[in-house]
Amino acid sequence: MGLGNPGPGYENSRHNIGFRVIDLWCKDLGLVLKKNLFRSKNIRAEFRGNNIILFCPITFMNLSGEAVRACADYHALETGTILVIHDDLDLPLGRIKVAKDGGSGGHKGVGSIIHHLESTQFSRIKVGIGRPRYGETVEDYVLSPFYTDEKGLAQKAMEMAVNACELFVLEGVESAMNQINCQNLVNKEEKN
């Protein structure tokens, strides 16, 4: 489940990094999300012998839980099999954290999912977007595109998030946490 806001005005915003990770994974798999049930764009697929659903709610961010709950109910998904990809202000760009459960951390989309699933027991991929550099409000910052000098690093972070999704499906959340959470793309950029 990649989180974001629908519409072209939000397409390249930091807040839409969850959508962008799902889109990148779809591209890698040769898939296209279709507007379908559950107020979402989604597609059912097979990934290396595993049945998966790639899913982006077309509700606004703070209503994401409505779409996620509808999908979970329809497919009888256990909460522990759900993986939510979203932006995280408290992680610098270039850092990704895979987590098993927990609170919303102030993220309204995650808060909506917790509310509608009545559970925190789903996994997350938190993609760091860092904090504003130039005194922007947090709201303006998350709804804006990455700074020009961040775009390459943002692309690498999204690629690493796709890798984290694949690890989650193939090896489980613990393995994804162990392999992804120790990586720091900022350090790799500085060494090159």
**H or E element at residue 85:** strand 83-88
Residues in contact with 175: Cβ distance below 8 Å, sequence separation at least 6, in sequence order: 167
Catalytic position from the list 15, 86, 107, 116: 15
Q: CA of 165: how far to CAs of 68, 160, 187, in Å?
A: 17, 9, 22
Q: What are phi and psi of 110, to 5 degrees?
A: -65, -40
Active-site annotation holds for 15: yes
Task: Show which residues are catalytic.
Answer: 15
